[in-house]
Structure 1
């Protein structure tokens, strides 16, 4: 397929006349029409030319396919429904510059387009192009305030327990081998026996109820898996079969769930891995543990009472304080979406978010976050590196004394950074000042002398250490003072009023999950899911622009009939 970048044609006069007639007067033109009228050629072909060849059979305009994909997300349509809209919907034909008799394209073209975009790392191109256009018309700018929050995304695969995962991994590898090289399977394996065990999905039949029988079945799955791998890695087997994705997934699943060691008679003894307190042959940590043979990027994760298999989505948007009833000068625009593994902590995501906003020249002056994102290093580093002030609750002192609100917490000590010593509330000076590394973080351990602590009348309120002396673990000076200042600032009423601006991002996430169906991934693989998220963010921005252009409230709350009745009764 080849693409010769061309400017989009102007809307067909016949279609334009019909659209103007249908939406004359008070009727508002639909989203697709206003996007074309106000933003013009939003996604030029040249922006996607790298994903297509210069020679070969001419293909559909990639820029217009990008717009179709965005409009598809705005209406939450399937590929087949979106292709039908291109053929039948006059407003879509108007936006795309198609003639009345244009036959459109087969719905499979949309899937091929997404695949090419992912293969050429263009997942964020549509959002970048929209934000560039909005910057040009002064609807979004750097500085000001932005807010970020995260939500969970459920993967497009079935949830499997450990036993089902191993059996399904063997089955997936067998199916892939049978499709790729059926002659090899017929020559090496007894097809009838393997088909009897792995013809149907493992989760479609009831597993044994007793633990003993489950363990026995788990070992059978493991022996089948190792037998299959040994056949694949035999010298006579084609080497390319070993590189099939499902074969590699099977190999990893077996390593993560079983051990093999020499037993009696020299035969290898297979055992299931169990989590060990000493970290011996226990299960691998969650960030590297496979959860499905069909999507090797998905992971099991937990957050408070939520347990899910999938990913995590981080949404950043502009936000503007406003008085009740006032129309904002600009609509709130989503400036970035980050799709990560579900096991990645929020603190590890903030730096890439700032890097993406810097690349788009949309760094905020104030960034509103919940307490899961910041750390002492990020609070200081964001100001130094990006000029971004983090408006976020700083976790309070978690020491025993601070939690009980009695005794002496770390902030009750006077730190003399210049002379490398600390003074306790009883007036005693520290005995040692030792810089070290704790969990990869530079800290300083300050210790007081036991001879000062033992006779101290405040000892019970200060320390319960068996060494009979108080110790403090301090971040570097700049970090310690910044955290102390932030903790003091967040105790004021004015700070709570300012921080209330962050709450609006939760409504944005609700709009994203309900309008575009983001809660459940439509695709497999982190790259394709991220493409879906950036396309959805672009669609949400267009929906918000459409509301803002037509003077509609951008934060209209939806109430159930019961809620409206209650409001009426209390009025």
Structure 2
């Protein structure tokens, strides 16, 4: 289960202003006698004396753009002053100054014109990748995150918990609680699929690997299904992306599953019995693949051509993954449409209760500390607290609610009983 962690997000204008303010604060503290001779202290104290989140920026887009350029020019002026011969050399190594240099490099650039040096903001397409771009001058590990249309600044936490068949307590018959077994924290740009193998490594290090691991659809791929089974002996029970071919999306015609693949002979046979004439390894989006093609003349004369390919001149072609991955993917796709698999996957439904409990009880949606190590420690303590709550409720015969129920609804249920 993946949960996004939020900090107060700063837009690019606020990020520039607050980064410069933080640098000036650090300089005023570390070398109080130096800034008075190097920068316009009174003017900048008025401009950068308050945090950027304590006042509202101009409503006009043009005025906000001009303010951003003012920040840019002041920031470059401060960086030049710090590097001047009159400035103490050690000022350059202040953490706040290093952050200022990075943020300015990522958000501004200077060009030399006939009138002099001109400061410009970088356009959106010129910004560095999200994994490298700083999102806060106070937490250099935090990053901008996007998932299913939701934006946030900060981290992600991945929670693993037990989901074995409930074992009733001999004394009162109550099922055993689900226990959190692993917490993994990353910055907000790390995808779920990138964490699938590291999470299993963490579980293996503490001898907590399950025989079957129930995951949501963001974690698996054909490569990972094979790798996790081979390296850890764990079967991933998870929805996989369905076939995206036009025939599969339309639910009509012959999709890839209608073709018989003979891996040993490196051939494919179509539903009409024709054999492919081309089998070639390839690379698609950086991943190994196999391209299979059928003779175009054979396809043009086929009476069911319209149900097989949309190409007007060529023959049918197929894209396959390497054999082990393709067979694992085909098996997973075939299993997940069965009622038996859906019932089995329903075991994972309780994870939504864990998400709610983590957010409502420990406030896990908000990161209280700065930096990835401290944030991860916070998550680990939160998981311990949740486990203690669950064990306490179980020991005392008060099982935690599986769903959210309001007080009025509970009253109605008690009166009905």
TM tier relative to shorter chain: over 0.9
Distance in 2, matches of 1:411 and 1:398, equals: 12
1:535 lines up with 2:381 in the alignment: yes
Q: Note if 1:327 corresponds to 2:174.
A: yes
Say which of 58, 61, 82 aligns to 1:208. Answer: 58
Shift of 1:556: 5.4
Q: 1:222 aligns with which of 59, 72, 90?
A: 72
Cα offset, 1:398, TM superposition: 1.4
Q: Which has the higher contact order (CA 8 A, sep 6+)?
A: 1
Whether 1:153 aligns to 2:2 is no
Match of residue 64 from structure 1: none
1:336-355 correspondence to structure 2 within 5 Å? 336-355=182-201
Gap change, CA 1:450 and 1:570, over 3 Å in 2: farther
The answer (yes or no) to whether the contact 2:14–2:52 under 8 Å persists in 1 is: yes
Shift of 1:549: 2.7
1:388 equivalent in structure 2: 234
Name the CA distance, whole Å, in 1 between partners of 2:86 and 2:318.
64
Structure 2 residues without counterparts, runs of 5 or longer: none
Aligned to 1:409: 255
SS of residue in 1 equivalent to 2:33? helix
Q: Cα 1:234–1:210, aligned 2, differ >3 Å: closer, same or farther? A: same
Partner SS, residue 388 of structure 2: helix
Are residue 243 (structure 1) and residue 93 (structure 2) matched? yes
RMSD: 2.2
1:94-493 matched pairs, under 5 angstroms: 149-155=1-7, 158-265=8-115, 267-276=116-125, 282-322=126-166, 326-328=173-175, 330-465=176-311, 468-493=314-339
Residue 568 of structure 1, CA deviation: 6.3
Change (3 A) 1:332 1:424: same
Judged with a 3 Å threshold, the aligned counterparts in structure 2 of structure 1 residues 234 and 396 are, in CA distance, closer, same or farther, namely: same
Q: 1:326 & 1:499 partners in 2: Cα distance?
A: 25
Q: Which has the higher strand share?
A: 2
User: How far is 1:505 from its partner?
Assistant: 1.7
Q: Offset at 1:207?
A: 1.8
Q: Would you say the 8 A contact 2:353–2:403 is kept in 1?
A: no
Report the alpha carbon displacement of residue 558 of structure 1 after superposing the two structures with TM. 4.7
Going from structure 1 to structure 2, the CA distance change for 1:255 and 1:459 (only over 3 Å counts) comes to: farther
**Equivalent residue number for residue 340 of structure 2:** 494
Deviation at 1:424, TM superposition (A): 2.1
How many pairs were matched up?
Answer: 414
Partner Cα separation in structure 1 for residue 158 and residue 24 of structure 2: 37
What is the DSSP-based 3-state SS (H/G/I as helix, E as strand, rest coil) of the residue aligned with 2:16? helix
> CA deviation digits over 1:420-476, x for unaligned, max 9?
121222333223222122233211122223333334333332223476333222111
